[in-house]
Structure 1
């Protein structure tokens, strides 16, 4: 009997020790710490108070949301929004919670963008300085006319309001190396006028001089430059083995009739549309007079005959020695426009 009691006591102690060890193990693992809800929602009054608290929190969140800046740039550059604080629910039972008054803050001004500087309109100088190159063709270094236009082609416009054809003609003159100046318009009454006259003083970039300076229109100047380059210069080199130094002209613009005879039509000279050439000086010093050559002047005769025949490819009228007494000492070239398109080469 005593053995049975002692055995029961031992079993009870063992079970007690086992329970203590199990409870100790569970408490170490945290199984006995169970979090309880912050508020008891079992009663009806507590439930209503909790509902009002949640509604007030939503109103406050909406108001603070409205105060945020509207533009995307302000959100990026402005300070971060304030952290929404949740009121303590423990004071809900003691005093009522009133909705927060919205505080609207003015949005921050956008950063001012610096304005670019205003570009000043380009204004051309009234008078451009002439070129320092003595052989700069197109415009002379020393201007003889106070109202001359310095460079209408480079400026892109003309004070005298030139047409596109006049501007294109001047461009061709510069390509051919014609030395010329712009002159004021000439109007001597009737047919004696040139709207855009030129003072021509040389060809081939100044290597061939024209003396005295001739007053011509642009189309006549262009035809003359092509003739000098394409016919006169090659012919003199072929026969005299020398280039041209100076072309001597006898008449350019002149307000008169044909051959200065009373009652005859107005000459093409009155329009700056004609030029008379009396003599040619070569680089070797030889002078070729435009006149009927002597019996043994073979080279002079050959040159004058070639010039007379080939010049009709450039001019509409070519008159020279042997035609009449008025053209016995010079060549007359002009660009007369005839209805039939006829060219007079005599």
Structure 2
């Protein structure tokens, strides 16, 4: 009985003598929770700034070199614009003028034209090729002196065979019948007076513009008609002329468009107030300009 009471008492004495350490671990205090309505902002973890990866440079293979000016090719940044409209010419660079050349005659067509011109009664002679530069010239020119038997071209004119042939056909089929009806009292037609055949110049003798059809042998200008009694009917403005001479001029002008691609009379402009201009210029679709 006594031993049972002494054992617990002895254990208490030993525990009291051991004691607790003076410095023990101190538990960390938890931060006080802050309510939103107290006006204090709750700290949030900061986001890391976005860091862009370094741009990768194109890999250059050992057997390839970057393009340089020395290689003869400009870098992409210096490439010329593909659209020619975007490329502006230098201030001192003049626009290039088109190169004009003499149109060659087709051998077969030319030979056939000579046959027809002889058959209708025209008198002419073939002359050497004309090349005056700047597109002026005739590949196979001829000089026409007689349009039809008994009808002289004064002065004789140099032109292409096609021009001479259409002039002869127009004279035979249109001029002679009109003259017989309107001017029979004047006698037979003896002379067609021309003002211009081949000559190297621009249209209407201008300083700038397109080359004249006269410079290619395609044109002839008619100034007047002379009859057997010596009377001449001169080309002049006759739209309001009610005489037979006026009717004759209007008739030969209108029929001219049946043979020539271009007919210009005194009513067309100031440059043609004293002659009829005829030419055989080729136009698309067979179009003819007559006024």
Please confirm whether the aligned pair reaches a TM-score higher than 0.5, indicating the same fold. yes
Q: CA deviation at 1:297?
A: 5.1
Which residue of 237, 259, 275 corresponds with 2:220? 275
Which one has a larger percent strand, Structure 1 or Structure 2? 2
User: Residues 73-112 of structure 1: matches in 2 within 5 Å?
Assistant: none
Q: CA–CA distance in 2 between the matches of 1:304 and 1:334?
A: 18
Q: Secondary structure at the match of 1:219?
A: helix
CA distance in structure 2 between the partners assigned to 1:177 and 1:295 by the alignment: 36
The answer to whether the aligner puts 1:183 opposite 2:127 as a matched pair is yes
Higher helix share: 1
Q: What secondary structure does 1:336 align onto?
A: coil
Aligned residue in 1 for 2:4 = none
Give the equivalent residue in structure 2 for 1:216.
Answer: 159
Which gives a bigger RCO, structure 1 or 2 (Cα 8 Å, sep 6+)? Answer: 2
Distance 1:197 1:298 in 2: 39
| 1:215-243 CA distance string (max 9 Å, x none) | 01001111111001000111111111132
Q: Does residue 172 in structure 1 map to residue 116 in structure 2?
A: yes
- How far apart in 2 are the matches of 1:267 and 1:197? 16
Residue equivalent to 2:264: 319
**2:174 paired with 1:231:** yes
TM-score by length of 1: 0.52
Partner Cα distance (1:263, 1:204) in 2: 37
SS at match of 2:284: coil
Shift of 1:293: 3.6
Which of 123, 128, 140 is the matching residue for 1:196? 140
Question: Residues 84-163 of structure 1 correspond to what in structure 2 (within 5 A)?
Answer: 163=107
CA deviation vs aligned residue, 1:173-200 (integer Å, no higher than 9, x gap): 1100001011111001132110111110
**Structure 1 residues 283 and 188: CA distance shift in structure 2, 3 A:** same
User: How many residues in Structure 1 have an aligned counterpart in Structure 2?
Assistant: 185
TM-superposed deviation, 1:168: 1.1
- CA offset at residue 321 of structure 1? 0.8
SS state of the match for residue 313, structure 1?
A: coil
TM-score, normalised by the number of residues in structure 2: 0.61
Distance in 2 (CA, whole Å) between partners of 1:322 and 1:163 is 38
> What value does the CA root-mean-square deviation take over the aligned residues?
1.7
Q: Secondary structure at the match of 2:133?
A: coil
**For each residue in 1:244-286, what CA deviation from the matched residue of structure 2 results, as whole angstroms up to 9, or x when unmatched?**
1111000000111110112211110001100000011011221
For the residue of structure 1 that corresponds to 2:226, the secondary structure is strand
Whether 2:220 is the aligned partner of 1:289: answer no
Q: CA shift at 1:295, angstroms?
A: 6.1
